[in-house]
Structure 1
Protein backbone atom coordinates (compact mmCIF):
# COMPACT_ATOMS: atom_id res chain seq x y z
CA UNK A 1 0.00 0.00 0.00
CA UNK A 2 2.82 2.38 0.91
CA UNK A 3 4.60 1.62 -2.37
CA UNK A 4 1.40 2.41 -4.29
CA UNK A 5 1.02 5.79 -2.53
CA UNK A 6 4.66 6.60 -3.21
CA UNK A 7 4.21 5.67 -6.89
CA UNK A 8 1.21 8.01 -7.17
CA UNK A 9 3.17 10.81 -5.49
CA UNK A 10 6.10 10.29 -7.89
CA UNK A 11 3.72 10.33 -10.87
CA UNK A 12 2.24 13.59 -9.56
CA UNK A 13 5.74 15.06 -9.22
CA UNK A 14 6.44 14.08 -12.84
CA UNK A 15 3.41 16.15 -13.92
CA UNK A 16 0.62 13.56 -14.17
CA UNK A 17 -2.65 15.50 -13.73
CA UNK A 18 -4.55 12.35 -12.72
CA UNK A 19 -2.01 11.63 -9.97
CA UNK A 20 -2.12 15.29 -8.81
CA UNK A 21 -5.91 15.04 -8.51
CA UNK A 22 -5.62 11.86 -6.43
CA UNK A 23 -3.04 13.36 -4.05
CA UNK A 24 -5.09 16.55 -3.58
CA UNK A 25 -8.31 14.60 -2.92
CA UNK A 26 -6.56 12.37 -0.38
CA UNK A 27 -5.06 15.28 1.55
CA UNK A 28 -8.21 17.44 1.46
CA UNK A 29 -10.56 14.61 2.42
CA UNK A 30 -10.93 15.95 5.98
CA UNK A 31 -12.39 19.18 4.59
CA UNK A 32 -14.89 17.27 2.39
CA UNK A 33 -13.55 19.14 -0.65
CA UNK A 34 -13.46 17.41 -4.05
CA UNK A 35 -10.87 18.40 -6.67
CA UNK A 36 -11.01 18.28 -10.46
CA UNK A 37 -8.13 19.44 -12.67
CA UNK A 38 -7.18 20.13 -16.28
CA UNK A 39 -3.84 21.36 -17.62
CA UNK A 40 -4.64 23.96 -20.29
CA UNK A 41 -2.46 26.62 -21.99
CA UNK A 42 0.38 26.19 -19.51
CA UNK A 43 -1.88 26.64 -16.46
CA UNK A 44 -3.17 23.93 -14.11
CA UNK A 45 -6.90 24.64 -13.75
CA UNK A 46 -8.30 23.34 -10.45
CA UNK A 47 -11.99 23.13 -9.54
CA UNK A 48 -12.71 22.80 -5.81
CA UNK A 49 -16.23 21.64 -4.92
CA UNK A 50 -17.89 21.13 -1.54
CA UNK A 51 -21.48 20.81 -0.27
CA UNK A 52 -21.30 24.04 1.78
CA UNK A 53 -19.81 27.50 1.20
CA UNK A 54 -18.04 27.44 4.58
CA UNK A 55 -15.91 24.51 3.43
CA UNK A 56 -14.60 26.62 0.53
CA UNK A 57 -13.24 29.53 2.59
CA UNK A 58 -10.82 31.14 0.13
CA UNK A 59 -7.72 32.04 2.15
CA UNK A 60 -7.58 28.72 4.02
CA UNK A 61 -8.26 26.53 0.98
CA UNK A 62 -5.82 28.42 -1.29
CA UNK A 63 -3.04 28.12 1.27
CA UNK A 64 -3.60 24.38 1.77
CA UNK A 65 -3.75 23.66 -1.97
CA UNK A 66 -0.60 25.72 -2.56
CA UNK A 67 1.22 23.93 0.25
CA UNK A 68 0.30 20.49 -1.15
CA UNK A 69 1.27 21.43 -4.72
CA UNK A 70 4.60 22.94 -3.63
CA UNK A 71 5.28 19.75 -1.68
CA UNK A 72 4.57 17.75 -4.85
CA UNK A 73 6.48 20.27 -7.03
CA UNK A 74 4.99 18.93 -10.29
CA UNK A 75 7.30 19.13 -13.29
CA UNK A 76 6.62 21.97 -15.76
CA UNK A 77 3.74 23.37 -13.68
CA UNK A 78 4.22 26.81 -12.09
CA UNK A 79 0.93 28.64 -12.61
CA UNK A 80 -2.26 27.32 -10.99
CA UNK A 81 -5.76 28.79 -11.23
CA UNK A 82 -7.96 27.73 -8.29
CA UNK A 83 -11.72 27.91 -8.87
CA UNK A 84 -14.48 27.03 -6.40
CA UNK A 85 -18.20 26.30 -6.51
CA UNK A 86 -20.87 24.34 -4.68
CA UNK A 87 -20.72 20.67 -5.69
CA UNK A 88 -22.69 19.79 -8.84
CA UNK A 89 -23.42 16.72 -10.91
CA UNK A 90 -20.59 15.35 -13.04
CA UNK A 91 -19.84 17.67 -15.96
CA UNK A 92 -17.13 16.78 -18.43
CA UNK A 93 -16.96 20.31 -19.86
CA UNK A 94 -16.77 22.18 -16.56
CA UNK A 95 -13.81 24.33 -17.68
CA UNK A 96 -15.72 25.61 -20.73
CA UNK A 97 -18.72 26.33 -18.54
CA UNK A 98 -16.91 28.40 -15.91
CA UNK A 99 -14.85 30.18 -18.58
CA UNK A 100 -18.02 31.34 -20.36
CA UNK A 101 -19.75 32.63 -17.24
CA UNK A 102 -17.36 32.79 -14.23
CA UNK A 103 -19.41 35.28 -12.20
CA UNK A 104 -22.53 33.11 -12.05
CA UNK A 105 -20.81 29.72 -12.00
CA UNK A 106 -18.07 30.30 -9.40
CA UNK A 107 -17.86 31.43 -5.78
CA UNK A 108 -14.35 32.76 -6.35
CA UNK A 109 -11.25 32.22 -8.48
CA UNK A 110 -7.59 32.91 -7.67
CA UNK A 111 -4.38 32.34 -9.62
CA UNK A 112 -1.20 31.41 -7.74
CA UNK A 113 2.41 30.77 -8.71
CA UNK A 114 4.19 27.79 -7.11
CA UNK A 115 7.58 28.45 -5.52
CA UNK A 116 10.46 26.32 -6.71
CA UNK A 117 12.13 24.04 -4.10
CA UNK A 118 15.69 24.92 -3.06
CA UNK A 119 18.66 23.28 -4.74
CA UNK A 120 19.03 20.53 -2.12
CA UNK A 121 15.38 19.49 -2.45
CA UNK A 122 15.69 19.49 -6.25
CA UNK A 123 18.69 17.15 -6.05
CA UNK A 124 16.95 14.83 -3.59
CA UNK A 125 13.77 14.71 -5.67
CA UNK A 126 15.74 14.07 -8.83
CA UNK A 127 17.22 10.94 -7.28
CA UNK A 128 13.83 9.85 -5.86
CA UNK A 129 12.06 10.09 -9.23
CA UNK A 130 14.82 9.02 -11.61
CA UNK A 131 16.73 6.39 -9.66
CA UNK A 132 16.33 3.10 -11.60
CA UNK A 133 15.28 -0.10 -9.90
CA UNK A 134 18.20 -2.44 -9.33
CA UNK A 135 18.44 -5.29 -11.81
CA UNK A 136 20.35 -8.51 -11.21
CA UNK A 137 23.72 -8.74 -12.94
CA UNK A 138 25.14 -12.16 -13.73
CA UNK A 139 28.92 -12.12 -13.71
CA UNK A 140 30.95 -14.74 -15.45
CA UNK A 141 33.78 -16.31 -13.52
CA UNK A 142 36.13 -15.34 -16.32
CA UNK A 143 35.65 -11.60 -15.75
CA UNK A 144 38.83 -9.82 -14.89
CA UNK A 145 38.43 -8.72 -11.26
CA UNK A 146 41.07 -6.02 -11.64
CA UNK A 147 39.11 -4.46 -14.49
CA UNK A 148 35.92 -4.51 -12.44
CA UNK A 149 37.69 -2.80 -9.56
CA UNK A 150 38.92 -0.04 -11.88
CA UNK A 151 35.40 0.51 -13.20
CA UNK A 152 34.01 0.76 -9.68
CA UNK A 153 36.67 3.30 -8.74
CA UNK A 154 35.86 5.33 -11.84
CA UNK A 155 32.14 5.37 -10.98
CA UNK A 156 32.87 6.38 -7.39
CA UNK A 157 35.12 9.14 -8.67
CA UNK A 158 32.37 10.44 -10.95
CA UNK A 159 29.84 10.50 -8.12
CA UNK A 160 32.31 12.15 -5.77
CA UNK A 161 33.12 14.79 -8.39
CA UNK A 162 29.42 15.53 -8.91
CA UNK A 163 28.69 16.02 -5.22
CA UNK A 164 31.90 18.06 -4.75
CA UNK A 165 30.84 20.33 -7.62
CA UNK A 166 27.39 20.81 -6.09
CA UNK A 167 28.95 21.54 -2.70
CA UNK A 168 31.28 24.17 -4.21
CA UNK A 169 28.35 25.76 -6.02
CA UNK A 170 26.28 26.00 -2.84
CA UNK A 171 29.24 27.33 -0.84
CA UNK A 172 29.85 29.94 -3.52
CA UNK A 173 26.23 31.11 -3.33
CA UNK A 174 26.34 31.28 0.47
CA UNK A 175 29.64 33.24 0.50
CA UNK A 176 28.21 35.71 -2.00
CA UNK A 177 25.11 36.20 0.18
CA UNK A 178 27.29 36.63 3.27
CA UNK A 179 29.40 39.31 1.56
CA UNK A 180 26.28 41.18 0.46
CA UNK A 181 24.76 40.97 3.93
CA UNK A 182 27.98 42.24 5.51
CA UNK A 183 28.04 45.24 3.17
CA UNK A 184 24.37 46.02 3.90
CA UNK A 185 25.00 45.70 7.65
CA UNK A 186 27.83 48.27 7.46
CA UNK A 187 25.61 50.69 5.53
CA UNK A 188 22.74 50.16 7.95
CA UNK A 189 25.00 50.71 10.97
CA UNK A 190 26.30 53.99 9.51
CA UNK A 191 22.78 55.25 8.83
CA UNK A 192 21.48 54.24 12.25
CA UNK A 193 24.07 56.37 14.04
CA UNK A 194 22.30 59.50 12.72
CA UNK A 195 18.82 58.42 13.83
CA UNK A 196 17.18 59.15 17.19
CA UNK A 197 16.13 56.39 19.55
CA UNK A 198 12.86 54.77 18.43
CA UNK A 199 9.57 55.57 20.12
CA UNK A 200 8.88 52.94 22.84
CA UNK A 201 5.24 52.62 21.69
CA UNK A 202 6.39 51.80 18.15
CA UNK A 203 8.85 49.23 19.50
CA UNK A 204 6.10 47.59 21.60
CA UNK A 205 3.82 47.44 18.56
CA UNK A 206 6.58 45.86 16.48
CA UNK A 207 7.25 43.31 19.24
CA UNK A 208 3.54 42.43 19.37
CA UNK A 209 3.38 41.96 15.59
CA UNK A 210 6.55 39.80 15.69
CA UNK A 211 5.05 37.64 18.45
CA UNK A 212 1.81 37.31 16.46
CA UNK A 213 3.74 36.30 13.36
CA UNK A 214 5.61 33.61 15.32
CA UNK A 215 2.38 32.37 16.95
CA UNK A 216 0.70 32.17 13.53
CA UNK A 217 3.60 30.22 12.01
CA UNK A 218 3.80 27.85 15.00
CA UNK A 219 0.05 27.22 14.80
CA UNK A 220 0.33 26.35 11.10
CA UNK A 221 3.17 23.90 11.86
CA UNK A 222 1.14 22.22 14.59
CA UNK A 223 -1.89 22.00 12.29
CA UNK A 224 0.19 20.35 9.57
CA UNK A 225 1.57 17.84 12.08
CA UNK A 226 -1.91 17.09 13.43
CA UNK A 227 -3.31 16.63 9.92
CA UNK A 228 -0.47 14.25 9.02
CA UNK A 229 -0.87 12.29 12.28
CA UNK A 230 -4.61 12.03 11.69
CA UNK A 231 -4.02 10.02 8.51
CA UNK A 232 -2.32 7.17 10.39
CA UNK A 233 -3.78 7.37 13.91
CA UNK A 234 -5.32 4.15 15.23
CA UNK A 235 -5.21 4.16 19.02
CA UNK A 236 -7.12 6.29 21.47
CA UNK A 237 -3.88 7.82 22.82
CA UNK A 238 -2.89 8.92 19.32
CA UNK A 239 -6.24 10.65 18.74
CA UNK A 240 -5.99 12.40 22.12
CA UNK A 241 -2.53 13.67 21.18
CA UNK A 242 -3.87 14.90 17.83
CA UNK A 243 -6.76 16.68 19.58
CA UNK A 244 -4.22 18.36 21.87
CA UNK A 245 -2.21 19.61 18.87
CA UNK A 246 -5.32 21.05 17.21
CA UNK A 247 -6.28 22.67 20.52
CA UNK A 248 -2.84 24.26 20.94
CA UNK A 249 -2.90 25.46 17.33
CA UNK A 250 -6.33 27.04 17.93
CA UNK A 251 -5.09 28.82 21.07
CA UNK A 252 -2.04 30.17 19.22
CA UNK A 253 -4.26 31.55 16.44
CA UNK A 254 -6.54 33.12 19.05
CA UNK A 255 -3.53 34.92 20.59
CA UNK A 256 -2.73 36.79 17.35
CA UNK A 257 -2.96 40.59 17.75
CA UNK A 258 -5.58 42.58 15.77
CA UNK A 259 -2.68 44.70 14.49
CA UNK A 260 -1.23 41.69 12.63
CA UNK A 261 -1.89 41.73 8.87
CA UNK A 262 -3.37 38.20 8.87
CA UNK A 263 -5.58 38.70 11.93
CA UNK A 264 -8.81 37.83 10.04
CA UNK A 265 -7.28 34.57 8.82
CA UNK A 266 -6.10 33.79 12.38
CA UNK A 267 -9.64 34.25 13.76
CA UNK A 268 -11.01 31.88 11.11
CA UNK A 269 -8.26 29.32 11.75
CA UNK A 270 -8.81 29.45 15.53
CA UNK A 271 -12.44 28.37 15.06
CA UNK A 272 -11.52 25.81 12.40
CA UNK A 273 -8.72 24.20 14.47
CA UNK A 274 -10.99 24.05 17.53
CA UNK A 275 -13.53 22.18 15.38
CA UNK A 276 -10.83 19.70 14.29
CA UNK A 277 -9.81 19.24 17.94
CA UNK A 278 -13.40 18.33 18.83
CA UNK A 279 -13.53 15.86 15.92
CA UNK A 280 -10.29 14.20 17.09
CA UNK A 281 -11.73 13.85 20.60
CA UNK A 282 -14.80 12.19 19.14
CA UNK A 283 -12.56 9.74 17.28
CA UNK A 284 -10.77 8.95 20.55
CA UNK A 285 -14.10 8.31 22.29
CA UNK A 286 -15.09 5.81 19.58
CA UNK A 287 -12.13 3.53 20.40
Structure 2
Protein backbone atom coordinates (compact mmCIF):
# COMPACT_ATOMS: atom_id res chain seq x y z
CA UNK A 1 0.00 0.00 0.00
CA UNK A 2 2.89 2.35 0.60
CA UNK A 3 4.57 4.35 -2.14
CA UNK A 4 7.60 5.15 -0.01
CA UNK A 5 10.81 5.07 -2.07
CA UNK A 6 14.08 3.39 -1.14
CA UNK A 7 15.69 6.83 -0.83
CA UNK A 8 12.98 7.95 1.63
CA UNK A 9 13.59 4.80 3.70
CA UNK A 10 17.33 5.53 3.75
CA UNK A 11 16.63 9.14 4.78
CA UNK A 12 14.46 8.02 7.71
CA UNK A 13 16.91 5.30 8.76
CA UNK A 14 19.80 7.80 8.64
CA UNK A 15 17.85 10.27 10.80
CA UNK A 16 17.10 7.46 13.25
CA UNK A 17 20.81 6.62 13.45
CA UNK A 18 21.50 10.30 14.18
CA UNK A 19 19.12 10.10 17.16
CA UNK A 20 15.86 11.53 15.77
CA UNK A 21 13.08 10.22 18.01
CA UNK A 22 10.44 10.83 15.33
CA UNK A 23 12.39 8.74 12.80
CA UNK A 24 12.94 5.95 15.36
CA UNK A 25 9.20 5.83 16.04
CA UNK A 26 8.40 5.72 12.33
CA UNK A 27 10.66 2.67 11.90
CA UNK A 28 9.27 0.94 15.00
CA UNK A 29 5.68 1.52 13.89
CA UNK A 30 6.36 0.14 10.41
CA UNK A 31 8.07 -2.99 11.75
CA UNK A 32 5.54 -3.66 14.52
CA UNK A 33 2.40 -2.95 12.49
CA UNK A 34 1.87 -6.64 11.68
CA UNK A 35 1.82 -7.34 15.43
CA UNK A 36 -0.92 -4.74 15.97
CA UNK A 37 1.42 -2.56 18.05
CA UNK A 38 1.95 1.16 17.72
CA UNK A 39 4.59 3.14 19.59
CA UNK A 40 5.26 6.64 20.86
CA UNK A 41 8.37 8.02 22.55
CA UNK A 42 10.01 10.91 24.31
CA UNK A 43 13.65 11.37 25.34
CA UNK A 44 13.87 12.40 29.00
CA UNK A 45 16.71 12.27 31.55
CA UNK A 46 18.99 10.41 29.11
CA UNK A 47 16.40 7.63 28.71
CA UNK A 48 14.26 6.93 25.65
CA UNK A 49 10.80 6.48 27.15
CA UNK A 50 8.90 4.21 24.76
CA UNK A 51 5.16 3.54 24.94
CA UNK A 52 3.77 0.42 23.21
CA UNK A 53 0.01 0.15 22.72
CA UNK A 54 -2.19 -2.59 21.28
CA UNK A 55 -5.82 -3.69 21.39
CA UNK A 56 -5.25 -6.86 23.46
CA UNK A 57 -2.96 -8.17 26.21
CA UNK A 58 -1.81 -11.01 23.96
CA UNK A 59 -0.31 -8.60 21.45
CA UNK A 60 1.80 -7.09 24.25
CA UNK A 61 3.39 -10.30 25.59
CA UNK A 62 6.37 -8.91 27.49
CA UNK A 63 9.30 -11.12 26.41
CA UNK A 64 8.31 -11.05 22.74
CA UNK A 65 7.83 -7.28 22.59
CA UNK A 66 11.02 -6.48 24.53
CA UNK A 67 13.19 -8.68 22.30
CA UNK A 68 11.68 -7.33 19.08
CA UNK A 69 12.23 -3.73 20.15
CA UNK A 70 15.75 -4.48 21.39
CA UNK A 71 16.63 -6.07 18.03
CA UNK A 72 15.22 -3.16 16.00
CA UNK A 73 16.94 -0.48 18.11
CA UNK A 74 20.30 -2.27 18.16
CA UNK A 75 20.08 -2.56 14.37
CA UNK A 76 19.53 1.21 14.17
CA UNK A 77 22.16 1.94 16.87
CA UNK A 78 20.95 5.54 17.43
CA UNK A 79 23.54 8.02 18.70
CA UNK A 80 23.44 9.02 22.38
CA UNK A 81 20.65 6.54 23.17
CA UNK A 82 21.76 3.68 25.41
CA UNK A 83 18.96 3.20 27.90
CA UNK A 84 15.38 2.55 26.82
CA UNK A 85 12.37 2.10 29.08
CA UNK A 86 9.64 0.11 27.35
CA UNK A 87 6.16 0.84 28.74
CA UNK A 88 3.05 -1.04 27.59
CA UNK A 89 -0.67 -0.46 27.88
CA UNK A 90 -3.90 -1.10 25.99
CA UNK A 91 -4.84 1.51 23.39
CA UNK A 92 -6.36 4.66 24.88
CA UNK A 93 -8.02 7.51 23.04
CA UNK A 94 -6.36 10.31 25.01
CA UNK A 95 -2.73 10.47 23.90
CA UNK A 96 -1.32 13.98 24.23
CA UNK A 97 -0.16 13.71 27.86
CA UNK A 98 0.70 10.01 27.92
CA UNK A 99 4.17 10.44 29.47
CA UNK A 100 2.84 12.60 32.30
CA UNK A 101 0.06 10.09 32.90
CA UNK A 102 2.26 7.01 33.17
CA UNK A 103 4.82 8.90 35.26
CA UNK A 104 2.17 10.02 37.73
CA UNK A 105 0.45 6.65 38.16
CA UNK A 106 2.33 3.80 36.41
CA UNK A 107 0.56 1.01 38.34
CA UNK A 108 -2.88 1.86 36.99
CA UNK A 109 -1.72 3.06 33.58
CA UNK A 110 0.61 0.26 32.46
CA UNK A 111 0.47 -3.49 31.89
CA UNK A 112 4.24 -3.69 32.44
CA UNK A 113 7.46 -1.73 32.00
CA UNK A 114 11.01 -2.85 31.31
CA UNK A 115 14.31 -0.91 31.27
CA UNK A 116 16.87 -2.18 28.74
CA UNK A 117 20.40 -1.13 27.80
CA UNK A 118 21.32 -1.23 24.12
CA UNK A 119 24.59 -2.74 22.94
CA UNK A 120 26.71 -0.06 21.30
CA UNK A 121 28.59 -0.75 18.05
CA UNK A 122 32.38 -0.44 18.06
CA UNK A 123 33.44 3.14 17.29
CA UNK A 124 35.27 1.99 14.13
CA UNK A 125 32.18 0.15 12.90
CA UNK A 126 30.07 3.25 13.51
CA UNK A 127 32.59 5.40 11.61
CA UNK A 128 32.57 3.03 8.64
CA UNK A 129 28.77 3.00 8.73
CA UNK A 130 28.69 6.79 8.53
CA UNK A 131 31.10 6.76 5.59
CA UNK A 132 28.84 4.35 3.72
CA UNK A 133 25.72 6.42 4.29
CA UNK A 134 23.96 7.39 1.03
CA UNK A 135 25.01 10.67 -0.55
CA UNK A 136 22.81 13.64 0.21
CA UNK A 137 20.09 14.46 -2.30
CA UNK A 138 20.02 18.01 -3.64
CA UNK A 139 16.97 19.21 -5.58
CA UNK A 140 18.00 21.44 -8.47
CA UNK A 141 15.71 24.37 -9.35
CA UNK A 142 13.57 24.16 -12.49
CA UNK A 143 15.45 25.20 -15.61
CA UNK A 144 18.88 24.31 -14.22
CA UNK A 145 21.31 23.31 -16.97
CA UNK A 146 23.19 20.02 -17.15
CA UNK A 147 26.43 21.87 -16.45
CA UNK A 148 24.90 23.28 -13.26
CA UNK A 149 23.92 19.76 -12.21
CA UNK A 150 27.42 18.44 -12.96
CA UNK A 151 29.00 21.27 -10.96
CA UNK A 152 26.70 20.58 -8.01
CA UNK A 153 27.49 16.86 -8.11
CA UNK A 154 31.22 17.60 -8.33
CA UNK A 155 31.00 19.92 -5.33
CA UNK A 156 29.07 17.36 -3.28
CA UNK A 157 31.50 14.60 -4.25
CA UNK A 158 34.45 16.73 -3.15
CA UNK A 159 32.76 17.72 0.10
CA UNK A 160 31.92 14.12 0.95
CA UNK A 161 35.48 13.07 0.09
CA UNK A 162 36.96 15.69 2.43
CA UNK A 163 34.52 14.66 5.16
CA UNK A 164 35.54 11.03 4.73
CA UNK A 165 39.21 11.91 5.17
CA UNK A 166 38.44 14.00 8.27
CA UNK A 167 36.47 11.13 9.81
CA UNK A 168 39.25 8.67 9.03
CA UNK A 169 41.89 10.90 10.60
CA UNK A 170 39.64 11.47 13.61
CA UNK A 171 39.15 7.73 13.97
CA UNK A 172 42.88 7.08 13.91
CA UNK A 173 43.45 9.86 16.44
CA UNK A 174 40.85 8.39 18.79
CA UNK A 175 42.41 4.94 18.44
CA UNK A 176 45.88 6.35 19.25
CA UNK A 177 44.50 8.30 22.20
CA UNK A 178 42.78 5.23 23.62
CA UNK A 179 45.95 3.22 23.29
CA UNK A 180 47.81 5.97 25.14
CA UNK A 181 45.19 6.14 27.89
CA UNK A 182 45.11 2.36 28.27
CA UNK A 183 48.87 2.36 28.94
CA UNK A 184 48.57 5.07 31.62
CA UNK A 185 47.72 4.33 35.31
CA UNK A 186 44.00 4.05 35.93
CA UNK A 187 42.35 6.97 37.74
CA UNK A 188 39.10 6.43 39.63
CA UNK A 189 36.52 9.20 39.36
CA UNK A 190 33.42 8.78 41.52
CA UNK A 191 30.11 9.42 39.81
CA UNK A 192 31.68 10.27 36.44
CA UNK A 193 29.35 10.11 33.45
CA UNK A 194 30.06 10.09 29.76
CA UNK A 195 29.68 13.58 28.34
CA UNK A 196 27.93 12.14 25.33
CA UNK A 197 25.13 10.86 27.55
CA UNK A 198 24.42 14.40 28.70
CA UNK A 199 23.98 15.86 25.22
CA UNK A 200 20.40 16.45 24.06
CA UNK A 201 19.20 14.92 20.83
CA UNK A 202 19.72 17.13 17.78
CA UNK A 203 16.69 18.64 16.09
CA UNK A 204 17.89 18.01 12.53
CA UNK A 205 14.50 18.54 10.92
CA UNK A 206 11.64 21.03 10.72
CA UNK A 207 8.89 19.33 12.72
CA UNK A 208 6.11 21.29 10.94
CA UNK A 209 7.33 20.37 7.45
CA UNK A 210 7.96 16.77 8.42
CA UNK A 211 4.48 16.48 9.94
CA UNK A 212 2.94 17.78 6.71
CA UNK A 213 4.93 15.26 4.64
CA UNK A 214 3.86 12.35 6.85
CA UNK A 215 0.21 13.49 6.82
CA UNK A 216 0.15 13.89 3.04
CA UNK A 217 1.64 10.41 2.53
CA UNK A 218 -0.78 8.88 5.06
CA UNK A 219 -3.73 10.50 3.26
CA UNK A 220 -2.47 9.17 -0.08
CA UNK A 221 -1.91 5.63 1.24
CA UNK A 222 -5.28 5.56 2.99
CA UNK A 223 -7.12 4.80 -0.26
CA UNK A 224 -5.30 1.44 -0.49
CA UNK A 225 -5.76 0.31 3.15
CA UNK A 226 -7.77 -2.89 3.54
CA UNK A 227 -6.61 -4.83 6.61
CA UNK A 228 -6.43 -4.14 10.33
CA UNK A 229 -2.64 -3.87 10.09
CA UNK A 230 -3.01 -1.27 7.32
CA UNK A 231 -5.35 0.86 9.45
CA UNK A 232 -3.10 0.58 12.51
CA UNK A 233 -0.04 1.63 10.51
CA UNK A 234 -1.91 4.63 9.12
CA UNK A 235 -3.22 5.55 12.58
CA UNK A 236 0.35 5.52 13.91
CA UNK A 237 1.50 7.82 11.12
CA UNK A 238 -1.32 10.31 11.72
CA UNK A 239 -0.49 10.25 15.45
CA UNK A 240 3.20 10.83 14.63
CA UNK A 241 2.23 13.81 12.46
CA UNK A 242 0.12 15.17 15.35
CA UNK A 243 3.05 14.76 17.79
CA UNK A 244 5.40 16.59 15.43
CA UNK A 245 2.94 19.48 15.08
CA UNK A 246 2.77 19.67 18.88
CA UNK A 247 6.54 20.28 18.92
CA UNK A 248 6.22 23.58 16.99
CA UNK A 249 7.29 26.37 19.35
CA UNK A 250 4.96 29.23 20.24
CA UNK A 251 7.50 31.69 18.76
CA UNK A 252 7.07 30.09 15.32
CA UNK A 253 4.79 32.05 12.98
CA UNK A 254 3.09 28.75 12.04
CA UNK A 255 2.25 27.94 15.68
CA UNK A 256 -1.52 28.56 15.45
CA UNK A 257 -1.80 26.46 12.28
CA UNK A 258 0.21 23.72 13.97
CA UNK A 259 -2.12 23.71 17.00
CA UNK A 260 -5.16 23.29 14.74
CA UNK A 261 -3.49 20.41 12.94
CA UNK A 262 -2.51 18.68 16.20
CA UNK A 263 -6.20 18.03 16.85
CA UNK A 264 -7.09 17.33 13.20
CA UNK A 265 -4.33 14.74 12.77
CA UNK A 266 -5.15 13.18 16.15
CA UNK A 267 -8.79 12.87 15.12
CA UNK A 268 -7.73 11.07 11.94
CA UNK A 269 -5.62 8.67 14.00
CA UNK A 270 -8.50 7.86 16.36
CA UNK A 271 -10.90 7.28 13.45
CA UNK A 272 -8.48 4.81 11.89
CA UNK A 273 -8.03 3.00 15.20
CA UNK A 274 -11.79 2.59 15.40
CA UNK A 275 -11.82 1.25 11.84
CA UNK A 276 -9.06 -1.26 12.73
CA UNK A 277 -11.12 -2.54 15.67
CA UNK A 278 -14.15 -3.00 13.42
CA UNK A 279 -12.10 -5.02 10.93
CA UNK A 280 -10.85 -7.26 13.75
Normalised by the length of structure 1, the TM-score is 0.48
Of the two, which has the highest radius of gyration? 1
Higher relative contact order (CA 8 A, sep 6+): 2
From the two aligned structures, give the one with the greater helix fraction.
1
